Amino acid sequence: MNPRTNEPNALKPKNSMLSYHNRTRIMQDNDKISVFTRNGIIRATVLIDGFVSGLWSIEEQRGTATLQINPFRPISSADQAALHEEGAKLLTFAAADAAYHDIRFL
């Protein structure tokens, strides 16, 4: 939860971007090129204060699942801590079989 706005910081799946006809309420126009590919792939997004603020992905290698969070702009330490907490929950669910979990901000 973001203490400034009471909006949850979140790691959203790809399909959450399909739900909005007018995406300007949740995403800056210049970020669309990073979220939507030319061939229709929608990347998983990071929400801060209800606004698309970056991308995330999980890579698994040698028993370690690493959540990579790539913000579009610098984020505060409070937002980073909130995303780290959400990321830990995500890894517990999405990479339950991995021996180790890691979270990296790129």
Give residue 60's pLDDT: 96
**60: β partners:** 65
Residue 42's pLDDT is: 84
Q: In angstroms, rounded to a whole number, what is the distance separating the alpha carbons of residues 10 and 79?
A: 10
| CB contact set of 24 (below 8 Å; sequence gap of 6+) | none
Q: What pLDDT sits at residue 85?
A: 93
Residue 74 is predicted with a pLDDT of 96
Q: Provide the pLDDT for residue 46.
A: 93
pLDDT digit string (tens) for the chain, length 106 residues: 545 555 566 666 555 555 556 666 778 889 988 988 888 888 999 989 888 999 999 999 999 999 999 999 999 999 999 999 999 999 999 999 999 999 999 9
pLDDT of residue 51: 87
At residue 40, the pLDDT reads 80
Q: List the chain domain ranges.
A: 10-105
3-state secondary structure 29-92: HHHHHHHECCCCCECCEEEECCEEEEEEEEEEECCEEEEEEEECCCCCHHHHHHHHHHHHHHHH
Pair 64, 101: CB distance under 8 Å: yes
